[in-house]
Structure formats: C-alpha cells, structure tokens
Structure 1
Amino acid sequence: MAKFVFNMPDVGEGVAEAEIVEWHVKVGDTVSEDQHLVDVMTDKATIDIESPVDGKVLEIAGEPGDVVSVGAMLLVIEVEGEVPEEVEEASAAVADEAPAPEPVSAPAPEPVPAPAPVPSPAPAPAAAQKVESKVLASPAVRARARDLGIDLGDVKPAEDGRIRHSDLDAYLSYTGGFSAAAPTRGDEEIKVIGMRRRIAENMAAAKRHIPHFTYVEECDVTDLEAMRAQLNANRGEKPKLTILPLLITAICKTLPDFPMINARYDDEGDVVTRHGAVHMGMAAQTDAGLMVPVIRNAQSHNIWQLANEIARLAEAARTGKAKSEELSGGTLTVTSLGPLGGVATTPVINRPEVAIIGPNRIIERPMFVPDGMGGERIAKRKLMNISISCDHRVVDGYDAASFIQALKRLTEAPALILAV
C-alpha cells in the first residue's frame, strides 16, 4: 500500500486558486482512475477534477466554499502497490511551483471578560397575558386553531363557555377566512458559495467601481411583433423566433455609429478598448444563478443563426456545460426577463464592459396614431421600454440617449433590421 497526495492541479489560464463547490466522494470511498472527485470554480468556469489513480480516499481538504491554491493538497488516496511515477511527478511538480505561504505570527490571545449575568425577564402584567388553558376546548379544536393560526381567546364560545368546531367556522366566516396572524416560516442559513458567491463578488465590484446611469425609452414594437409572427409562420425547420434575435440584430446595426457603447474599460491601466466585433453577452438564469454566455461575432449572424446560438448557449448554461471561453470576452450584454421584464429595469453592468441593454415586457396600450388623412385615431399598440445602463466614465448621457433613439428607429421600422 502507498499513500498518494493529490495536489490541486493547474487548470490553466493563469488561475492561482479555485473554490471547492461540491465533493462527489467522501473519506472511505473507493475511487477509480478518471472518476469525478470534486467540482471547483475559478473566476471563469466550474471545472471537474478527476482522479489520476485507483484507490481509497483517506483524507480530503476543505469543504464547499473553501478556496484551495494550485499545488495545495486536495486529497489523499491510498493505492495498491506503488503510485505510477508519472502521476507522482505531475502532482509534485504542481506543488513545487506553488508559492510558499508567508509565515504569520499568531497574535497573543486577548483576555476575554467574564459574561455579565443575564437578568431574568420581568413577568408580564396579568392583564396582558393570555392563558389559553382557561379557554374551554377539546384537544382537536385546540390543534385545529393552532394550524389555522387562531388565538382561541379571540373566538366567541357557546353559551356553556366551550369553544367547538362550529365556533371556529363562525370566526373564520366573520374574518373572511383569514386569521390575524400569518404563519411564520423558520429561519434558514445558506452558505454563499460557488456561483452565488461569484455573482455577489462581481456585482459588488461593478457597483463599487462603475458610476452607473440608466436611460429608458419607450418603443412601439407593433410592426416588429407582426413581422416576427410572419417569420415564425413561415419558418419551416428553423427555430422559433423570440424578439431577442431581432433586437440583437438591430443593436449590431446601430453600434458602428456609437463605438463607445461596444467597449471594455481597463480601469487599472486607464485604457478603453472600442471593439469592432460585437461579442454579445446574454444574461441567462440558471439554478446556480445568473450566467452570461457570449455570442461571438454576433454582427455576422442572421436572425435564425442568432436564435440557434441563443438556444444552444442558454441550454449549456442551464446544464452547466458551458465552456470557459463561452462565458468570457463579452463586449456588450443584453439582459431580458421575458414576460417578467417589468415596466423598466436598471441593469448592472457586466464589468469590464461599459454598457448593458435591458428590453422590458411588451404591453398593449391605446395610442394616437396617424389616420392616413392628416388626422389621428386611437389604436391598440404594442409598446416596450428599452433600458440601457452605462459607465459614466466612458459613455456620456447624450451618447446613450442618441444610441437608444437610433435603436428605436430600427425597432419601429423593422424592415430596416433585415435590410442589408
């Protein structure tokens, strides 16, 4: 028998440490070569770590939420015979390259004062106390009252002073079926780890570093929705279109006149890079939290290709199969809550990008429209607000408003979206 110390491997891309998300083995388990041991998360993606040997797990390092440095011990495996030389060397090489921790002298313990005696609570006045035991009721009636959140002291009893089920029914009828006290849910503590911790860190950094401002404009998308319905009715084997591929196409056509929107800001080097290609981030909700897969070169895709790519990336994000390169490198992000989009949103920028666009829910309202004879008439129209949040260090309010106005013109004359 031999003990093999499996060190945290180098997962590439300059990653120095990773967070443990979930263990798939425990001490005492027998594992085989290439078996999935643990999920770890870097700044860019969740990575599966597999076993390089067969054996029995003797020790594991850390719990979900702990951060392990590359080269640090991840787990110890007992193997039959000798550990393969190439496996031993690979794990040792990673450990040799890991930076040694700096010695830290432990501070002298501070004296802990003795706890002060806790005074006993003063008894409540007799008039304020409700003694349920004085209420006459059967155990079944008391249990039903507790389940309904009813204080028996509030229920009028029968002439003999005993509360019966019929008295509870009368009380519920009088109060409309609701008791004064709502049921209380117990407290629950949830450790913030994995994707939720990464989201928290990224959002806090974005709000801390970026001076946000948001501009919202109302767009009449009646004709756009009519065109979308026609395209879907004649799509054949093509994917069903949502409004998102059409909106992304309109954005890509508008951006060449507003290069400051499709940009990334390196605030440490004070460099703004205005990108020619549009690598469109697409916020996608998953069970693990919000992820932003990226549509590469969105300006080169037609609406059907965009619909395919949106569906593919959203599914990859939901199932945890999105690759690292599919979750980074965006130059502009679109975030949409679909039918939950609300009247207006103030989305948070996906740093280091400088803008994020949020289409909101489409609603129907009466509007004054030209009647074709020089006058106006009232007609039912489909309206959608488009929000844009910008980094005020890079994008001025005038530029953001001008960009959205240009985008509005395309969405209200949708034939121009598909014009070459």
Structure 2
Amino acid sequence: MGTHVIKMPDIGEGIAEVELAQWHVKVGDLVVEDQVLADVMTDKAMVDIPSPVHGKVLSLGGQPGEVMAVGSILISIEVEGAGNLKASDQLVKEPAAIKEAAPASAAPKVEAAPVLESKPVAACRPAPQAPVARDADERPLASPAVRKHALDLGIQLRLVQGSGPAGRILHEDLDAYLAQGTQNARSGSAPSGYAQRHDEEQIPVIGMRRKIAQRMQEATQRAAHFSYVEEIDVTAVEELRAHLNEKHGATRGKLTLLPFLVRALVVALRDFPQINARYDDEAQVITRHGAVHVGVATQSDVGLMVPVVRHAEARSLWDSAAEIARLATAARSGKAARDELSGSTITLTSLGALGGIVSTPVLNLPEVAIVGVNKIVERPMVIKGQVVIRKMMNLSSSFDHRVVDGMDAALFIQAIRGLLEQPASLFVE
C-alpha cells in the first residue's frame, strides 16, 4: 500500500490562497475516483476538489474556514501501489478539531474490493443507521435548508444519522428520525412546540457566507447608498406574459416576469448610460458599458450568488428566460463557473412572492445601481374616476450617490415604469 497526497490546486487568476469551505469526507472514509472531497472558496466562486484515486482517507490538511496556500497538502489517501508521496513531502497531521473516524466496530461494513473498482459514489455510501449521539461540539454535515428544517421540527442534528455522502444529513433522514420516535437526548421527551428549549448552535462564518458578509460590509462602507421606490401597474405586462405563455409556452418555454424586467433595463439604459457603469473608487475612474451584463441575484444553499446574463441587449425574451433559468440552476447546485459569477454591470434582485412591499437592496460593487423587485399584489386603483382592480408591484432600487444623481435615478426608474405599463414599447425600435 502507498500514500497519495493531494495538494491545494492552482485554481488560476493569480490566486495564491483559498479558503477551505467544507469537507465531504473524514478520516477513515473510503473514497472513489471523482468523488468530491472538499469545497474551497475563492473570491469569486466555490470550487469542488475531486479525488483522482480510489482509497482510504488517512489525514485532512485543514479545518473549514482555514485559509490554505496553493500547493499545501490538502488530504492524504491510502491507495494500492506506491502512491505519489515523496520523501520531501511532509504529511500534515489532522487538526485536533477534526474528529477521528468511528471505531471499526461501530462503522458500517464496506467490502474493500468493490471500493477499488470504478463505481458511482453512491455505491460507497453507508446504509442508514439508527440515530446516534455525537459529541456536543461536533457539527454534522447538513445544508442550511436541512438545518432550518431540523430547527423548525425541534430536532438536534447531532442525534440524526446522515445517509448522504460523507454522512451528510438529508431531509429524508429527518423524516426517518421522526418516524422512529426517537426521544430528545437532553429533554428526555419527544420534541414539542411548547417544550422549553435550552440548546444553542454556533455557526462559523466561513466559505460563501464569509464572502457575502465581507462584500456587503464593504459595499455599505464604501458606497454612498440611496434608495428610490416606485409602484408600477403591471396588469398589462402580466396579461401579455400570460398570452405569450399560452401561445408559445409549450414550444418555447414559460416566461416569468424577469425577462420582461431585463428587457426594460436594456431599453431604459439607452438613455441613462451613467447607470450602466462600474466605479473604481481607488483609481477614481467610472467605466460606462455599452453591453448590458445583468446580474440576477439568486439564493442558494450556501448563500446569495449573482450569476450574470451576458449581453442582455442582444437577447430575446425567451433567450433571456432560458439563460436566467440555466444560470439559476447552476448557482443553486454550486456548478456555476467563476466567469458566470462576475462581470455584471447592473444587478436585478427579486424575492418573488416573498418580495414584500419595500426593500433596500445593497449595491453589488463596483456597480452603481441595483434594481429590486417586490411582490405583485392586486389593489383597488382609481383610473379615470373609476375604481378598478389592478396588479401593482413596487421597484425598490438603490444607487451609488457618488456617481448617480437623485434626479437621474428617479428618471431611470420612471422610464422602466413607462415601459412595463405600456409593454408594447419594450419592442419598438
């Protein structure tokens, strides 16, 4: 047997160090080729680190949240054959905070021979076990959505056995835990909505969440934010959208409101080039862009990401819709490429049905404008002396007052309003 050492790869773009965001394996785990071992975080994106070999994890080179230099030892794996460990290599010992694998008697039995064959990762996953208690300071692997679900159900994640890769806890594991009627280890009784709770959970701010926090803090410290809110009658554009979906939805795909908003941005920016701009406040240079690269804020399990619809000025409604859907899927699954998450010239942010009445979005530096979409509600409106029911929606937008004057911001949003309230004007050249 030999040892195969995997070093922190050179991800490119002159990056000398990256943050170790998450481990997907632990010491003692059996892994197969192409199985994701860890996630690392650059300034722009999350990157998967796959295994190039089959074998058994011997040691881990860092803890989540640790910043590691390119070329440092990330993980060592025991393999058949000589491996690639050189005499000059110094193996990194496993940090104390990274737990050793469970004793062999408690671990699920996995046949060695099949592991060393080329098989899907799922073939090496242990079968679900009965719930077990972990150490109080051990944080099991689970997505933010699963953690929230567990919190809502009153379940302590350390009591739940995960059936996902590397023991990751899935929604199905929470359902299985409840079905088994396992009692809460601390209270001695089944979880109840009225039971007193004294548990706490400390969540390190690492990975994508750390990057989001840093960018939001930087944006509010460096830019002179101001917001402008206007209500828009979207009855006509919603009727047009419904008509187009009925006529072409089966062949071209369904349209949401977002492609219409992107089109409105493109048309309005023709008269307001100072808003389709990026401001380098260190060099004191404003760059106005002819191309409209629209960042579409997208929520994912690891936090807010902003994939970019490039050259929106050259896209049709359906082309924009398809690209928005593709990028959103890539972002939510963590598969968006680095160049798909950078280079936007203006950002569109929407919470959909949860959009509220008013919001104050934070600029996506170095851009100078962000357009926020609130929810659509039916309200009684007075039109030509008659009370009628209309579909109304607010745009809550923010601007960098160092670059954009208040009057220009207001006129820009009013231009978008006019385009959406008279949607035929979106397509008149």
TM-score when scaled to structure 2? 0.71
2:398 counterpart letter in structure 1: S
Partner of 2:111: none
The answer to whether residue 227 in structure 2 is matched with residue 227 in structure 1 is no
1:42 alignment partner in structure 2: 42
In structure 2, C-alpha distance between the alignment counterparts of 1:311 and 1:54, rounded to whole Å: 35
Alignment counterpart, residue 194 of structure 1, candidates 182, 207, 225:
207
Other-structure match for 2:333: 319
Q: Is 1:210 matched up with 2:219?
A: no
| Aligned equivalents of 1:34, 1:226: Cα separation in 2 | 48
371, 394, 414: which one aligns with 1:357: 371
TM alignment of 1:22-171, pairs within 5 A: 22-53=22-53, 55-83=55-83
For the residues of structure 2 that align with 1:295 and 1:307, how far apart are their CA atoms? 10
- Distance of aligned partners of 1:382 and 1:147 in 2 relative to their CA distance in 1, 3 Å threshold: closer
Q: Deviations over 1:51-96 (max 9, x none)?
A: 3455543321111111111122222344555445xx979x98xxxx
Q: Alpha-carbon deviation of 1:355?
A: 0.7
Letter in 2 for 1:26: K
Residue 4 of structure 1 contacts residue 88 of structure 1 at CA under 8 Å; is this kept in 2? Answer: no
Q: How many residues align?
A: 329
Structure ID, larger Rg: 1
2:412 aligned with 1:391, yes or no?
no
Q: Summarize the Cα distance change of 1:378–1:262 in structure 2 as closer, same or farther, 3 Å threshold.
A: same
- How far apart in 2 are the matches of 1:209 and 1:322? 28
2:308 is matched with: 294
Of residues 333, 349, 352, the one that matches 1:338 is 352
Provide the rounded CA distance (Å) in 2 between the counterparts of 1:38 and 1:23.
Answer: 4
- In structure 2, the CA distance between the partners of 1:55 and 1:377, relative to structure 1 (3 Å rule), is closer
Deviations, residues 366-416 of structure 1 (Å, cap 9, x unaligned): 22212xxxxx22211221111210111111111101111111111111111
Alpha-carbon distance in structure 2 between the residues aligned to 1:367 and 1:77? 68
- 2:258 is the counterpart of 1:244: yes
- 2:417 pairs with 381, 403, 408, which one? 408
Identity %: 56
AA aligned to 2:378 is E
- Residues in 2 aligned to 1:300 and 1:271: alpha-carbon distance in whole angstroms: 27
Distance, in Å, in 1 between the alignment partners of 2:210 and 2:322 is 30
In structure 2, distance between residues paired with 1:183 and 1:28: 38
Distance in 1, matches of 2:267 and 2:192, equals 60
Which SS does the other structure have where 2:270 is aligned? Answer: helix
- 1:399 counterpart letter in structure 2: D
Distance in 2 (CA, whole Å) between partners of 1:333 and 1:43 is 18
Give, in whole Å, the separation in 1 of the partners of 2:52 and 2:310. 35
Q: Compared with structure 1, are the counterparts of its residues 401 and 76 closer, same or farther at alpha carbon in structure 2 (3 Å cutoff)? A: same
Report Cα offsets for 1:271-324 as digits up to 9, x if no partner.
Answer: 111111011000111122111111010111111111111111111111111111
TM-score for both structures, normalised by structure 1: 0.73
RMSD of aligned residue pairs (Cα, Å): 2.6
For structure 2, the 5+ residue unaligned runs are 90-187
- Matches of 2:396 and 2:330 in 1, distance apart? 27
Aligned-partner residue type, residue 199 of structure 2: G
